[in-house]
Amino acid sequence: MLEHFKPVDQTAIEERCARIRTRSIKKGAKIEGLKMALGMIDLTTLEGKDTPGKVTQLCYKATHLHDELPNLPHVAAVCVYPTFVEQAVSLLKGSGVKVASVATGFPAGQTSREVKLADVKMAVDAGADEVDMVISRGEFLKGNHQFVFNEIAAVKETCGDARLKVILETGELGTLDNVAKASQIAIQAGADFIKTSTGKIKPAATMEVTLVMLEVIRDHYFETGRMVGMKPAGGISNAKLALHYLVMVKEILGEAWLDNHWFRFGASSLANDLILQLMKQETGVYQSGNYIALD
Partner 1 sequence: MGNQTNWNWDPAPESTDHVKIKEQYQLFIGGRFVKPANGEYFETVNPANEKVLAKVALADAADVDKAVKAARKAYSNVWSKMSGAERGKYIFRLARLIQERAREFAVIESLDGGKPIRESRDVDIPLVSAHFFYHAGWADKLEYAFPNKKPSPIGVVGQIIPWNFPLLMAAWKIAPALACGNTVVLKPAESTPLTALKLAEVIKDAGFPDGVVNIVTGDGGTGEAIVNHPGIDKIAFTGSTEVGKKIIRATAGTNKKLTLELGGKAANIVFEDAALDQAVDGIVEGIYFNQGHVCCAGSRLFVQEGIAEKLFRRLKHRINQLIVGDPLDKNTDIGAINSKGQLKTIQAYIKQGKKEGLEMFQPEIALPKKGYWCAPTLFFDVAQSSVLAKEEIFGPVLAIQTFRTVDEVIAKANNTPYGLSAGVWTDKGSKVFNLTSQLKAGVVWANTYNKFDPTSPFGGYKESGFGREGGVHGLEAYLNLN
Nearer CB in complex with partner 1: 116/244: 244
Catalytic (active site) residue 231: yes
Question: At closest approach, how far in Å is the CB of 23 from partner 1?
Answer: 6
Minimal CA–CA distance to 136: which of 154, 158, 124, 122? Answer: 154
Q: At what angle do helices 10-21 and 239-252 cross, to 10 degrees?
A: 120
Q: Which of 98, 156, 165, 195 is catalytic?
A: 195
**Which range touches partner 1 (CB under 8 A), out of 2-10, 55-63, 146-154, 162-170?**
2-10
- Compute CA 283 distance to the chain's CA centroid, rounded to the nearest angstrom: 31
Contact 145, 168 (CB under 8 A): no
Q: Which of 132, 165, 181, 273 is catalytic?
A: 132
- Report if residue 157 touches partner 1, rule: CB under 8 A: no
Tell me which of 29, 115, 141, 294 binds partner 1, using CB under 8 A: 29
- Report if residue 4 touches partner 1, rule: CB under 8 A: no
- Report if residue 260 touches partner 1, rule: CB under 8 A: yes
Contact 99, 128 (CB under 8 A): yes
d(CA 136, CA 149): 10
Tell me which of 117, 241, 246, 274 binds partner 1, using CB under 8 A: 246
Tell me which of 1, 4, 27, 285 binds partner 1, using CB under 8 A: 27
Question: At closest approach, how far in Å is the CB of 6 from partner 1?
Answer: 7
Output b/e per residue, 83-111; b: 16+ Cβ within 10 A: ebbbbbbebbeeeebbbbbbbbbbbbbee
Q: Which ranges constitute the DSSP H helices of the chain?
A: 10-21, 27-38, 52-63, 85-91, 113-125, 137-142, 145-159, 176-188, 207-224, 239-252, 270-283
- The pattern of x and - marking residues 215 through 234 that bind partner 1 according to CB under 8 A reads x--x---x------------
- Report if residue 73 touches partner 1, rule: CB under 8 A: yes
d(CA 178, CA 167): 13
> 171: buried, middle or exposed (CB in 10 Å: 19+, 13-18, 0-12)?
buried
- The pattern of x and - marking residues 94 through 113 that bind partner 1 according to CB under 8 A reads --x-----------------
Q: Kindly compute the dihedral angle of the four CA atoms of residues 247, 271, 137, 244, in this order, to the nearest 10 degrees.
A: 20
Question: At closest approach, how far in Å is the CB of 31 from partner 1?
Answer: 10
Tell me which of 3, 24, 70, 290 binds partner 1, using CB under 8 A: 24
Count of residues touching partner 1 (by CB under 8 A):
36
Nearer CB in complex with partner 1: 84/263: 263
Tell me which of 1, 4, 22, 290 binds partner 1, using CB under 8 A: 22
Q: Which ranges constitute the DSSP H helices of 50-144?
A: 52-63, 85-91, 113-125, 137-142
- The residues of the shown chain that bind partner 1, judged by CB under 8 A, are 6-9, 11-13, 15-16, 22-30, 32-33, 36, 39, 73, 96, 215, 218, 222, 246, 250-251, 255-256, 258-261
Report the catalytic residues.
132, 195, 231
